Amino acid sequence: MSRQPSPGRMESSGGRLCRQLAGKTLMEPEQRQNGRDAAAERGGLEPDEEKMGRRFSTLWIFVTLNYLYCDVISLMDHKLLGQYLTGAVGGVHITRSFLLGSAILMEIPIGMIVLSRVLHYRANRLANVAAGTIMTVVQFASLFFGASPTGYYIFFSVIEIACTAFIAWYAWTWRGQALRHRPQRTSARNVADDRVAALPPR
């Protein structure tokens, strides 16, 4: 006859299994927190910051390519090209000061491609809100500046305005999402503590 395991041994095995599961549940939030603490000590970004930074950087790459290709297409327009050569486009004189201002303005989206990946949460959020708002207002105002816009310019402008407005909104709501995640980590730890306390003694 085969020996049946004693109830005490079965209870002991079940208790060890429950403790291992509860211990794993307890350690996971602690491991994530330890990873964040280590990143803070190294001066690096937290995982949430890195993920959001990559998203913002990708959005700025997208909108910058739209800016550039719109300018390339305008050079293929023979009417505008002739005006470029004369130094006046739609009644606006293209001076060196005007070109310098345009260069400074375009450095905003180009710079945000890099800054979105390296800035920490607070600075990253504020920079994206400010840059997204500025570029949205400037692009919208350009539709009413100078001569009547062409069809392709309106097409690119709609995409650019939508993208930069989304960046500003997404960065503005970023804080609310970060705060909503904090109670979840605390709640998971409290639940794990309750499970450990409820386990039967060995």
117 assigned to some structural domain: yes
Domain that holds residue 119: 50-178
133 assigned to some structural domain: yes
137 assigned to some structural domain: yes
**What pLDDT shows up at residue 88?**
86
19 assigned to some structural domain: no
Between 145 and 43, where is the model more confident?
145
pLDDT at 112 over 60: yes
135 assigned to some structural domain: yes
Does an H or E element contain 88, and which? Answer: strand 88-89
**What pLDDT shows up at residue 177?**
47
**What pLDDT shows up at residue 28?**
52
Cα Rg of the chain (Å, integer): 29
199 assigned to some structural domain: no
The tens digit of pLDDT for each residue in 55-77 reads 999 999 999 999 999 999 999 99
pLDDT at 106 over 90: yes
72 assigned to some structural domain: yes
pLDDT at 173 over 90: yes
pLDDT at 183 over 80: no
**What pLDDT shows up at residue 80?**
86
What is the C-alpha to C-alpha distance for residues 54 and 147, in angstroms, rounded to an integer?
Answer: 37
Helix orientation angle between 151-198 and 7-42, rounded to the nearest 10 degrees = 140
Total of domains in the chain = 1
193 assigned to some structural domain: no
pLDDT at 89 over 70: yes
